[in-house]
Amino acid sequence: MSADSGAGETERVPLEAWPEELRRACQGSRHFREIRVVRETPSTQDVARAMGVGGVAMAWRQTAGRGRLGRAWQDTLEDGLAISVCVPAEVGALASVAAGIAAAIAIEGAIVAACPPAPTVALKWPNDLLIQGRKVGGILVEGDGKLLTIGIGINCSQRQFTGELTNRATSLALHGASVDRLEIAVRLLPELDRWLHTEARTIADEFSRRDALVGTELSFSTASGIVSGIVRGVDVVEGIRVETHDGVITLDPRTSCIVAKLS
Ligand code: BTN
């Protein structure tokens, strides 16, 4: 393929070879049955959702990626990994945390292979992947009662970010790792398959090990107004536990988000 802009031009494996490599990565998978690679799409979420259970969709270029809480996900054309999978709703409430863990492991593996040692990829409740405090990726889970579509976006070859992302985002390239998006996806899919099938206790332990927020003082926007306090931990099913003046409360990730860091 001839990519007309973006870092995709420098990738070692061309688009035509992606489906076969992804199929190989999904051999023996419990959850993934069908691979679709598209040159361009507004959102891989819609492609995977249309494929139904077992679908895996990856885009060379995603033009209108969605983030959590109605935000946009800026893929900056071909610099980022955009991949979505569709699983039955029974996979459950831990799907988003499981996907975050799988993505963290895939990123660490890719960085170690490219330029060791890898920094730890931390998880910032509920769905952000951080390297040294900056966002390198995010997870979006969309459900309709029957199906869950899990989308994973990872910043790969961006050399700079602009606007509000300038001091908040990072990429693998900014950490010295020149890694093809396909390589991350090939590492990610088997991890995702495994973590979607992992028991809750193990998922909770792994999240705690990577938790970026415990002990920090934050303000949250919630359904009942602004809540401030010290993060005491995350219950991976119920939400984040915050110690406020009125005691410890648990905030639901579907209706709450961080608005300020106080310490
Ligand atoms: C967030 O941080 O708010 C979540 C970002 C999720 C982005 C990914 S990219 C692949 C998939 N397609 C989308 O439109 N969004 C997700």
The atom number, within ligand 1, closest to the CA of 81 reads 9
The CA distance from 235 to 154, in Å, is 24
Please write the tens of the pLDDT for every residue from 88-139: 999 988 999 999 999 999 999 999 999 888 889 999 998 899 999 999 999 9
pLDDT category, 6, cuts 50, 70, 90? low
Distance 17 CA to ligand 1 centre (A): 24
Pairing of strands 225-235, 257-261: unpaired
Retrieve residue 125's tokens: 């409740």
Please write the tens of the pLDDT for every residue from 39-60: 999 999 999 999 999 999 999 9
3-state secondary structure of 13: coil
Cβ proximity of 35 and 26 under 8 Å = yes
The atom number, within ligand 1, closest to the CA of 127 reads 2
Instruction: State how far Cα 109 lies from the chain centre.
Output: 15
What one-character DSSP code corresponds to residue 201? H
The CA distance from 104 to 98, in Å, is 10
The CA distance from 44 to 85, in Å, is 9
Question: Which of 150, 134, 151, 128 shows the shortest CA–CA distance to 240?
Answer: 128
What one-character DSSP code corresponds to residue 224? T
Please name the residues in contact with 204: beta carbons below 8 A apart, sequence gap of 6 or more: 235, 236
Retrieve residue 220's tokens: 């949250």
In the chain, alpha helices (H): 18-25, 44-51, 95-114, 181-195, 200-210
The CA distance from 29 to 241, in Å, is 34
Q: Is the pLDDT of residue 253 over 90?
A: no
Residues with CB under 6 A from ligand 1: 43-45, 65-68, 71, 73, 82-84, 127-128, 138-140, 151-153
pLDDT at 2: 31
Cβ proximity of 119 and 130 under 8 Å = no
Pocket test for ligand 1, best of 130, 142, 152, 181 (most atoms within 8 A of CB): 152
pLDDT category, 1, cuts 50, 70, 90? very low
The CA distance from 192 to 32, in Å, is 10
Cβ proximity of 69 and 234 under 8 Å = no
- Mean pLDDT over 144-170 rounds to 93
Distance 7 CA to ligand 1 centre (A): 19
Q: Is the pTM of the predicted complex or chain greater than 0.85? A: yes
Pocket test for ligand 1, best of 46, 51, 73 (most atoms within 8 A of CB): 73
pLDDT at 118: 81
The atom number, within ligand 1, closest to the CA of 68 reads 3
pLDDT at 23: 98
Cβ proximity of 85 and 192 under 8 Å = yes
Q: How many helices (H) and strands (E) does the chain have?
A: 5, 14
Phi-psi domain of 155 (left: phi exceeds 0; alpha: psi -120 through 50; beta: other):
beta
